[in-house]
Amino acid sequence: MTQSPIDMLSIRESWRLFRILAEIVDGFETLSEIGPCVSIFGSARIKPDTPLYQETETIARLLVESGYGVITGGGPGLMEAGNKGATEAGGVSVGLHIQLPHEQECNKYVKIRSDYRYFFLRKLMFVKYALAYVVMPGGMGTIDELSEAFVLAQTKRIRPLPIILYQGSFWGGFLDWIRNDMVKGGYINAAEVDDLITVCDTPEQVVQQIRRRVIF
């Protein structure tokens, strides 16, 4: 008996649920014992010879020297810089690698790799296993990850962990828009922005903020 298109769709959706569950279980098993970590988000397009790449590498190294591991998206650019700094400092270096059709191979500095087909599961792992978030300059993917962490902390679905935006000259316009349009328009509370978000301009400031606000 030939199955209808609706029946076939239902079967495909059921198998998709199994794939989702498998990714969750695999992620939990891979990351459950990594210890205290900080997630670093940022652009995949920044080259190694740029100051921002080198500053990200320094942030990761200083985090390891302070007792934290580093979690990134496992790709190139600033993700690679974060993993490189952590690995070369002898610390935990995690890459949450997303499977994309045309880009983003896992970088060679990842020591603990966890693979994902679904972005929402990858973001779950970023949040679940981090004590703080360092958000470097980046594109829409970075904005997406920042927004996810902020909303979860804002609504108390996770503990209110520090979200550090690196490089005030990059994030200044974004924060001005939040304060001048969203806050004044009543869409968000100013205290939530001030409590959850900190801007830093040097690697030392980043690590100082995390050490001051995160106890493990």
pLDDT at 123: 92
Inter-helix orientation angle 203-213/51-65, to 10°: 30
pLDDT at 213: 84
Cα gap 75→82, rounded to integer Å: 10
Residues of the chain scoring pLDDT < 50:
none
pLDDT at 11: 60
The four Cα atoms 100, 163, 143, 191 give a dihedral, to 10 degrees, of: 150
User: Which amino acid is it at 48?
Assistant: P
pLDDT at 105: 83
pLDDT at 103: 58
Domain borders along the chain are 34-213
pLDDT at 94: 98
- Beta strand 132-135 with 37-41 is parallel
Cα gap 163→30, rounded to integer Å: 24
The CATH T-level fold of domain 34-213 is: Rossmann fold (3.40.50)
pLDDT at 157: 86
pLDDT at 112: 97
Which run of H or of E encompasses 94?
A: strand 93-98
CA-nearest of 200, 128, 120, 116 to 161 is 128
pLDDT at 72: 97
pLDDT at 7: 52
pLDDT at 9: 53
